[in-house]
Amino acid sequence: MIKKLVSHGNSSALIIDKPILQLLKVDEDTALEITTDGRNLIISPVEDGRREKKFKAALEKVNKAHGKTLKKLAE
């Protein structure tokens, strides 16, 4: 998909299509972090911490149940 910036007052805006916003579970109230790698813009929703906490709990559960096996596979 190729997009162009549009004028918005004294600024420029990028219009993101609704299906993409829905796929990413982003709406007008979602805080977005804009970063760059020097060549590309990277736009990411700001995580509220719940998702990361849930992921860490799942990872801990897997490590507890299968840690020895995973360690042997890594060797």
Confidence category of residue 54, pLDDT binned at 50, 70, 90: confident
Asked if the structure places residue 52 within a domain, the reply is yes
Asked if the structure places residue 1 within a domain, the reply is no
Asked if the structure places residue 38 within a domain, the reply is yes
Largest CA distance in the chain: 60
Spatial neighbors of 32 by CB under 8 A, at least 6 apart, are: 26, 43, 44, 45, 46
Asked if the structure places residue 18 within a domain, the reply is yes
Candidates 45, 25, 23; CA nearest to 34 is 45
Which CATH number characterizes residue 69's domain? Answer: 2.10.260
Residue 52 to residue 40: CA distance in whole angstroms: 25
pLDDT digits (tens, 9 = 90+) for 12-28: 999 999 999 999 989 99
Domain that holds residue 14: 6-74
Asked if the structure places residue 14 within a domain, the reply is yes
Number of domains comprising the chain = 1
Candidates 8, 35, 32, 6; CA nearest to 20 is 32
Asked if the structure places residue 61 within a domain, the reply is yes
pLDDT digits (tens, 9 = 90+) for 62-72: 999 999 999 89
